[in-house]
Amino acid sequence: MTALILVAMTSVAWLMGENPVKGIISTLLGILLASIGMDILTGAPRYHFGNMYLLGGIPFIPFVIGSVGFAEIIKIMAKRNSMTDQSVKANLTIRGSFLSRDEFRRMLPVAIRSGFLGTFIGVLPGAGATTGAFLGYAAQKGFKSKEPLGTGAVEGIAACESANSACAAGSFAPLLALGIPGSGTGAVLLGGLIMWGLTPGPLLFTRSPEFAWGAIASLYLANIITLVVAVAMIPILIRILSVPIKLIIPLVLVVCFAGSFASTNSMYGPLVMVIAGVFGYILSKYKYPIAPMLLAYVLAPMWEFNMRQSFIASGGSAIIFFTRPISLVLMIVFFVFILFPIIKGIVTRIKSRPSERGGV
């Protein structure tokens, strides 16, 4: 479990953003923030600075709302002088919203590639569909697009949504086979299975095969229903696009503050949300990805618990992570993710030296 979580955190950090080093730094920030509060094994307080609210750690919901939602609001407000408030007034119809043959040809290879990537991300514990969408878009930056990404290119939309949808299916693999939820929704499903007397794990497919294979078959039906609902919602979504941004920002602010307050029943939640929003805005301004930090914040307690259990079982020796074939392979993958940016930088410098000498 320790090796698996390490691979999950470093792989997301390596794939997110244009600079893998910045992704790893964001991951380390997430681990640092997750360590605030009570020690998992001993119960000793850590990094609380005498504040009783920090003894319980940083609440996850206000932290996510701030670092993603409120940070985006700050970004929009910072660009208000260069932005023009233009609402979408195009009279689109359902027929006009369908893909053309050229758009379908552009989206097909992107959707297949992001689908495989999203499935892999969904298998990782705690990653979730949001991380898959971020990674799908980040991976698409390395490929050519007919239109620049960020201008409504269909390649960017297909990369995000394909990875997002594939994560939902991929998260069923650790949930049903190992009993490990791959996302927040998977955790809810895990609780539902336990309530019905089902024990997720390898024996689920032999003891309750009708449920296990029925759940897998339901994913195909769910995709068909989702397609019908999405097409029916097109007129409503077009109406939403016509709302001016000066009206959207106050509404989003109210939702952010209400959600943060409801999660803690005190002003501690909105305060965390505001601080996390400023912190997330600073990170995004300097091109540090947010998704690895959020993923590391979720996985850090589980990683710390399993890592310390491993060290206790081995008497403090790190050899325990290399004695089993599965953990050995995972540790090798982990070191590849860590060392690749360093090796790539060294090779780039070596290749640039002869050209500099030739220029001189």
- Residue 347: pLDDT over 70: yes
- Residue 85: pLDDT over 60: no
Question: Per the structure block, which two tokens stand in for 40?
Answer: 């998992």
C-alpha span between 198 and 165 (Å, rounded):
26
- Residue 82: pLDDT over 60: no
How far apart, in Å, are the Cα atoms of 265 and each of 258, 268, 271, 278?
10, 8, 12, 22
- Residue 148: pLDDT over 60: yes
Tell me what pLDDT residue 249 has: 85
340: Cβ contacts below 8 Å, ≥ 6 apart:
14, 20
- Residue 89: pLDDT over 60: no
For residues 301 and 40, the answer to whether their CB atoms sit within 8 Å is: yes
Give per-residue pLDDT as tens, 262-294.
Answer: 888 888 889 999 999 999 899 888 888 887 888
